[in-house]
Amino acid sequence: MSTHLSEQEIIRREKLAELTKLGIDAYPAPLYPVTHYSTAVKAGFNEETKEEYKDVCIAGRIMSVRDMGKACFAVLQDSHGRLQIYVRRDDICPGEDKALYDVVFKKLLDIGDIIGVKGFVFTTKTGETSLHVKELTVLTKSLKPLPVVKEAEGQTFDAVTDPEFKYRQRYADLIINPQVKDVFVKRTIMINTIREYLNEYGALEVDTPVLQTIPGGATARPFSTHHNALDVPMYMRIANELYLKRLIVGGFDWVYEFSRNFRNEGMDRTHNPEFTILEWYTAYKDYFWMMNVTENLLEKIAIALHGTTDVTVGDKTISFKAPFKRISIFDAIKENTGIDVSALEEDGLRDVCKQLNIRVDGTMGKGKLIDELFSETSEAKCIQPTFIIDYPVEMSPLTKKHRSKEGLVERFELMINGKEVANAYSELNDPIDQRDRFEDQVKLKERGDDEAMFIDYDFLRALEYGMPPTSGIGIGIDRLCMLMTNQPSIQDVLLFPMMRPEKTVE
């Protein structure tokens, strides 16, 4: 980050000083009485309604100016969109003093400055709905010029696409690339649709701790910190699962949380160290019920965002019409490799990985080897929504054993466009079995697996009081948003994705 001022930045600071000399506060404190927004004006104004638009007040950022001498056309951008304004010298300066137009508007204001205008709406000779300005107020002087973006007839020809700029300076990205805002508006609609769906069925939204003494509920490397007052190590949560299941023990039937989770791992197009997961847990249900609810929810989201269950993702059309395909993890591997690995132990799995040129290491147990086999051979081929079901017990330390298939658990992962979007179980509620599974995880940690789980003794104590049969799920909100808004990278659906710190250059 450079503290050196460019020529344009110096000029804008000089203009700010000139405004101050004229007695104009470029950063005024009083409320500005906005009455309308750009898109509503353009949508609502016509010959029949023009009387309703005789006294309009809007505020926004100057995005372009077309100077015609004693009058100017300019484009103002507010939080909803853009509106053309018509500024005439004698209208905003009805007396002898023409400085507000000749000096302030034409010389001291720049692209990016924020102004407020009052006037009436009319239609130009070219048919464009515009605001005829009668009063103009300076609201904010912009000291840094925006990147230049060329537009014609509503089309952008050179939108700024540099990721370094877009992700690090999201505030500027949102100004000059209005379509970016639409992604985040849709993200909010998606989350609100989920909330409405869950609330309608009686689910209760809750909050659970972000700082935890034991990072439980998932297999991942945590961020660590220290609590000074208690003088104990603490971890940022990698999942909220164990706390939500404590609430099921406590008597809630259905709880959910939009959880900010933190995993001290790599970054790529589908991973950010800080991310959002929706998790919910429902008593007296199983993973079959959860599959039905999940596919119905995703169908509802697609319709809310697009009006259809067909969603364009890159060059593909993904159908979110329920029901979704269901296939076991072993059958998926066999379908894509021709090899049945369902009866193989660790050595046999290593041999298959070697045969398929899949790199593995000595820290990997049976579960991770199967996970690697599926990831490398089958995951990318799950384009349409597919429930991968019935995982080996070694891969799922928090999942109930399968009711009819020895060595498996009642778990599914929802794969869409080659990526995992959701993970769900019939939850393990046998405290003795759970303790044994935790101890197996400790053995993996001793072998060098730094993603293996800790033993959470308090959670075991909670299970000993009795947790009813329960089904739970985690849905990756960021990945789901990528799919629903056709974005290729997780950074495109996070307002402020993780970036390397900027170096300060004096």
Please check whether residue 236 is in contact with residue 210, taking contact to mean a CB–CB distance below 8 angstroms. Answer: yes
Of 396, 452, 444, give the one whose Cα is nearest residue 220: 452
The one-letter amino acid code at 96 reads: E
Determine whether 36 is exposed, middle or buried from the number of CB atoms within 10 Å of its CB (0-12, 13-18, 19+).
buried
Consult the annotation and say whether 420 binds a ligand. yes
Distance CA 415, CA 494 (A): 21
Identify the H or E element spanning 481: helix 477-485
DSSP one-letter string for 234-295: EEE-S--HHHHHHHHHTT-SEEEEEEEEE-----BTTB-SEEEEEEEEEET--HHHHHHHHH
Residue 250's Cβ-count burial label (10 Å; 0-12, 13-18, 19+) is exposed
Q: Do residues 417 and 320 lie in contact, with contact meaning Cβ atoms separated by under 8 Å?
A: no
> Taking the CB of residue 500, how many other CB atoms lie within 10 A of it?
8
- Residue 446: CB atoms within 10 A of its CB come to 10
413 known member of a binding site: yes
| Cα–Cα nearest to 287, from 414, 109, 424, 458 | 424
As a whole number of Å, the end-to-end CA separation of the chain is: 9
* Binding residue positions: 413, 420
* Binding residue positions for Mg(2+): 413, 420
